[in-house]
Structure 1
Amino acid sequence: MTENQKLLDGIKIIELSHIMAAPTCGQLLADMGAEVVKVERLPKGDDTRRFGRSEDGDSAAFAMMNRNKSGLGLNLKTEKGKSTLRTLIDKSDVFIENYRMGAMEHYGVGWENVRESNPRLIYCSISGFGRTGPYSDRGGFDLITQAMSGIMSITGEGPGRPPVKVGAPITDITAGILAALGICGAIIQRHRTGKGQYVDTSLYEAGIFHTFWQTAIFGDTGEVSQAMGSAHPLAAPYQAFKTSDSWLVVGAANQSTWLKFVEAIGSNELANDDRFSEPASRMENLDTLVEILNTLLSKRTTSEWMELLDSHGVPAGPVYDIEEMVNDPHTKARNMVTNISSATGKNFSVMGHPVKYSSASTAITQSAPLIGQDSREILTRFNFTSDEIDSLVSEGVISDKRINVEAAE
């Protein structure tokens, strides 16, 4: 493999998706080189197209999760639309969907419908609660699954305060990441067995997966963890502190780092204080420790403390807003936020691929498509004839954005 080769080169993926979890999954796989076809239901397509400022279905929100994909608009209310989707799936390696229970069966492309016609197919469903269990027929949004997975109970300022949702839609995003991981694992197994399989994950499980420490504590002691602000449930100091001009987070939880920390802030006496000398005693006296450290750290600016803490090898960082994160030189060096030109000529910021490879490319090579932008080209790649494609366009089964644009001109 050369540096310009793709990890998933040659893998064909059909993504019938909306909003976030499945588009995130498809985006990661597209970055890794898979040929991902974003199928959208006509006439309106993915709701994300209308999030925020939007022109002709071209929005920053849609661009964020759908770059490196080609776009097919399909009228699934028609029998020809359903049969076209079935043909695409039968000729693909992977199918990804994130609709409610029964939707794929309604379109004639449920797992049981397609597994025999394409035994090598890896079929991935991402839903609110998974395809088994008492909640399998429920719809699920990030807000709901953050609440029911316990995340909102451990997020916020503390007991007696209202429950708080994590600002980012972490169950949606994590479900997409887990699905991509599951698909990659299934691809590897298929190399050994020659057979595909059904991959099933959910926002609910993605949320639970984030509660490692709190679930471990409950299993071990029966104690139900509560919100602690930015603090850690098992170690201290590991949280945000107020400086003279902003906020600073410090991760000085283990003993060796704690000793470096108190030296850096000029308070070695804390290391000999019985209340703070050991990890367990620091947790027992956390409120007192936080009060002392807030007083000490409020005497300098965040940048001054960062210079001191860095020089002593203490993990720490400023609390950034999004603008500060985007403009940080390390963000730029890691290519984590980049600009691309959209199909309508706009410039959108999108996330870079979060994994770097020594011998493979994850370059962003195309912007998110308009609805049906690539319908004709996609069907041609899947061996539809020109006459068949013309018929599907004329009957309103597929959207051909190129023709629509020409007509508008």
Structure 2
Amino acid sequence: MNNIIPAAALQGLRVIEMGQLIAGPFAGKTLGEFGADVVKIEAPGSGDPLRNWRLIKDGTSVWWQVQSRNKRSIALDLRSGEGQDVARKLIAEADVLIENFRPGTLERWGMGWEELSKVNPGLVMLRISGYGQTGPYRDLPGFGAIGEAMGGLRHLTGEPGRVPVRCGISIGDTLAALHGTIGILTALYHRKVNGGLGQVIDVALNEAVFNVMESLVPEYSAFGAVREAAGSALPGIAPSNAYRCTDGFVLIAGNGDSIFKRLMQTIGRNDLATAPTLADNAGRVARADELDQAIEAWTLMQPVQEVLDILGAAGVPAGKVYTAKDIAEDPHYRARDMILSQTTRDGYEVDVPGVVPKLLGTPGTVRSSAPGLGDDTDEVLQELGFSIQDIAAMRGRKVVA
């Protein structure tokens, strides 16, 4: 059996992460899982606020254990001139810089693109902000929730006529991070084949959300149609909805032509399966309410698992609404290494999400657990050429911690 571990896809890539909370750090997390050396700069004393978000175990958020695995932490005061000098030295030897401060912050610290590109022409710089680095809104504060609203997502979430709701996670931040990661990899490829020059990637939270809004604007442009919230249904595609069972809800996607016929036959509605007006999506959309009522009349007579078993045998896509408990106990998640046991630096074991996407030749891995604040300060500074005495002196001046 061949036990040779393949080299990581991004082995040798040096990333400096200056962001905090979600959008920037999620991009750093993704690169780190595929082998990049991610050095995270944090403020001495406080560190990344995510360390203290949501549920805390042994003084640290369990969210932090996911977001910051495979990273090294250096506690560095970026508001001091000396700290900025150290940061510039780090960036001068890096391939990628990730930051998600408000536009203009790095420029005030003497670390704008003009300055950094002079000392490192090959630098790829990801800048994530609320509204981008240009435009009339660039200086406004922006969080993921605001990006979701401006991007058009919040208007579509929830029940018709009721208050717009969020999807339950910081999806705007994560979408921005994923777009930023795509931008980094694209810019690195361009650098490789076009003379070694880096560039800036400008990602706005609202634009990352807007980019996944499908036909929202084309429909308005062509028809003046403003898409509205539709609850659990998918407007313009039928049948696709959540349906009540005796013990919960099941999602059924019966909107493919052949799938629809199998679904109707399975629930005992051959009259609908063979109706010429329901042979395509346009006809089904016109009778979507009728179809939903027919499906739910059937699902209401049985529990979720029985519905799933019957529809699975019939080749109809269906699924239950998973909770965290369902995910943690699901054998398919386990079989695909999507639930991993990770040992934290505090010594306890915690289940965390696996790595996505799955590269079969150079798979992503969890090489190290999330660091404590400043755990790697000395190591990183010594790599830059600072002596133990230099570091001790900087620590005395509170430049590092």
The corresponding residue for 1:191 is: 192
Structure 1 residue 277, shift from structure 2 partner: 4.0
Distance 2:38 2:234 in 1: 40
The corresponding residue for 1:261 is: 263
- Which of the residues 63, 74, 78 maps onto 1:61? 63
Distance 1:99 1:143 in 2: 16
Query: Contact (CA 8 Å) 1:57, 1:371: kept in 2 or not?
Result: no
Structure 1 residue 175, shift from structure 2 partner: 0.6
Deviates more, 1:291-300 or 1:383-392: 383-392
Q: Give the unaligned 5+ runs of structure 1.
A: 400-409
- Which of the residues 332, 336, 339 maps onto 1:337? 339
Structure 1 residue 394, shift from structure 2 partner: 2.3
Q: Does 1:181 align with 2:178?
A: no
Q: Give the unaligned 5+ runs of structure 2.
A: none
- Which of the residues 24, 36, 39 maps onto 1:37? 39
Deviates more, 1:7-16 or 1:259-268: 259-268
Query: Contact (CA 8 Å) 2:122, 2:198: kept in 1 or not?
Result: yes
- Which of the residues 224, 231, 234 maps onto 1:232? 234
| One-letter identity of the residue aligned with 1:22 | G
Q: Does 1:9 align with 2:14?
A: no
Distance 2:328 2:227 in 1: 33
Q: What secondary structure is seen at the aligned counterpart in 1 of 2:258? A: helix
| One-letter identity of the residue aligned with 1:271 | A
Q: Does 1:78 align with 2:80?
A: yes
The corresponding residue for 1:123 is: 125
Distance 1:189 1:360 in 2: 21
The corresponding residue for 1:403 is: none
- Which of the residues 342, 356, 361 maps onto 1:359? 361
| Aligned 1:386-397 pairs, distance under 5 A | 386-397=388-399
Q: Cα distance 1:347–1:306, how it changes in 2: closer, same or farther (>3 A)?
A: same
The corresponding residue for 1:316 is: 318
Q: Cα distance 1:55–1:240, how it changes in 2: closer, same or farther (>3 A)?
A: closer
Deviates more, 1:338-347 or 1:246-255: 338-347
| One-letter identity of the residue aligned with 2:208 | A
Structure 1 residue 195, shift from structure 2 partner: 0.5
Distance 1:229 1:44 in 2: 41
Distance 1:56 1:94 in 2: 32
Instruction: Quote the RMSD (CA, aligned, Å).
Output: 1.6
Q: What secondary structure is seen at the aligned counterpart in 2 of 1:37? A: strand
| Aligned 1:210-289 pairs, distance under 5 A | 210-273=212-275, 276-289=278-291
Distance 1:378 1:330 in 2: 40
Q: Does 1:300 align with 2:302?
A: yes
| One-letter identity of the residue aligned with 2:174 | I
Deviates more, 1:387-396 or 1:326-335: 387-396
Distance 1:331 1:216 in 2: 37
Q: What secondary structure is seen at the aligned counterpart in 2 of 1:212? A: coil
Distance 2:304 2:111 in 1: 56
| One-letter identity of the residue aligned with 1:168 | I
Structure 1 residue 19, shift from structure 2 partner: 0.6
Query: Contact (CA 8 Å) 1:58, 1:342: kept in 2 or not?
Result: no
| One-letter identity of the residue aligned with 2:133 | R
Deviates more, 1:288-297 or 1:15-24: 288-297
| One-letter identity of the residue aligned with 1:28 | T
Q: Cα distance 1:182–1:247, how it changes in 2: closer, same or farther (>3 A)?
A: same
| One-letter identity of the residue aligned with 2:229 | A
| One-letter identity of the residue aligned with 1:202 | A
Query: Contact (CA 8 Å) 1:58, 1:343: kept in 2 or not?
Result: no
| One-letter identity of the residue aligned with 1:182 | G
Structure 1 residue 210, shift from structure 2 partner: 2.2
Query: Contact (CA 8 Å) 1:235, 1:254: kept in 2 or not?
Result: no
The corresponding residue for 2:173 is: 172
Distance 1:282 1:145 in 2: 34
Distance 2:222 2:334 in 1: 43
Distance 2:182 2:213 in 1: 19
Q: What secondary structure is seen at the aligned counterpart in 2 of 1:95? A: strand
| One-letter identity of the residue aligned with 1:189 | H
Q: What secondary structure is seen at the aligned counterpart in 2 of 1:116? A: helix
